[in-house]
């Protein structure tokens, strides 16, 4: 692992690191904020998965999360959204290829060689950070924005033993029925609309699995992509399952990081309550 930068931040450290990923077969870059409490021993961890076109840097610099994480003594991990590099498959569209990994393990060419983002987030990167930093693997939460909200919800519902809490900002809730999902699922997983697709659909997973822990979801009423996000499908599935969850439509907010930063304090406080319990 190579240290690209480390800066003092709210009493802790905001670092950026690069490592060779076994999952993607490429070098990957991630951001990690550790609060001052990490000097004395392992601290809880909140994963933040970013959306389409983002790198590790977007949320790290725009979400305003470090202030609130420092207040609660929580570490933050900001992974990249896909493998990158000259030899990595890409597409001219912004919503496929580099910057658009969708947090799945691709099975189709040319993506399968490197686009193993599910394994990267759930196995590869955790194995690295828990070995090298004072982080507590028994106290993990996960959140994300848009494509990253989709990733956070599907990962948490599939691996509830790994995460105590989950939240999402403007998540893609029903990708199997949305143009933000069908295109990518077909490209990465093939054209069979079967369990492989449904395993990456938060609304379907809510119906079949749910989440044995606290859940918080925020979406803006003026989100310019709301028809692609389909939040109503997840709300209906939550109600039908009687899942413990706070689902909020925030009046006047759009899809931007202005929205994310407006509610970041509440989301980190929500995770802190679960992680420090």
Residues designated catalytic: 146, 223, 255
CB atoms within 10 A of CB 158: 16
How far apart are alpha carbons 69 and 155 in whole angstroms?
22
Torsion of CA 52, 152, 140, 247, to 10 degrees: 120
Alpha helical stretches, state H, 171-256: 182-189, 195-198, 202-208, 226-229, 231-241
The pair of structure tokens assigned to 269 is: 């406080």
Strand order in the sheet with 246-250: 2-9, 12-20, 27-34, 75-78, 43-49, 135-144, 165-169, 215-220, 246-250
DSSP H helical ranges for the chain: 57-62, 65-72, 117-119, 125-132, 147-158, 182-189, 195-198, 202-208, 226-229, 231-241, 257-275
Nearest alpha carbon to residue 165 among 142, 138, 146, 144: 142
């Amino acid at each position: 692992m190579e240290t690209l930068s480390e800066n003092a931040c709210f009493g802790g450290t905001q670092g950026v690191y690069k490592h060779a990923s076994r999952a993607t077969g490429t070098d990957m870059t991630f951001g990690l904020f550790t609060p001052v409490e990490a000097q004395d021993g392992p601290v809880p961890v909140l994963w933040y998965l970013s959306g389409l076109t983002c790198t590790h840097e977007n949320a790290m610099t725009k979400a305003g999360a470090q202030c609130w994480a420092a207040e609660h003594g929580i570490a933050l991990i900001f992974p990249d959204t896909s493998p990158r590099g000259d030899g990595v498959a890409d597409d001219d569209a912004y919503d496929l290829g580099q910057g658009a990994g969708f947090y799945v393990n691709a099975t189709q060419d040319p993506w399968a060689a490197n686009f193993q983002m599910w394994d990267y987030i759930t196995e590869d990167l955790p194995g690295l950070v828990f070995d090298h930093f004072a982080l507590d693997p028994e106290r993990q939460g996960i959140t994300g924005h848009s494509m990253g909200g989709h990733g956070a919800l599907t990962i948490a519902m599939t691996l509830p033993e790994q995460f105590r809490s989950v939240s999402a900002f403007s998540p893609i809730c029903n990708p199997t029925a949305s143009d933000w999902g069908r295109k990518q699922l077909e490209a990465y997983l093939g054209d069979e609309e079967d369990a492989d697709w449904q395993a990456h659909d938060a609304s379907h997973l809510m119906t079949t699995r749910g989440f044995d822990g606290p859940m918080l979801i925020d979406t803006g009423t003026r989100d310019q992509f709301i028809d692609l996000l389909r939040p109503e499908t997840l709300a209906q599935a939550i109600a039908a399952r009687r899942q413990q969850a706070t689902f909020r439509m925030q009046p006047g907010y759009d899809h931007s990081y202005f929205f994310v930063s407006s509610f970041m304090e509440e989301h980190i406080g929500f995770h802190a309550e679960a992680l420090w319990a």
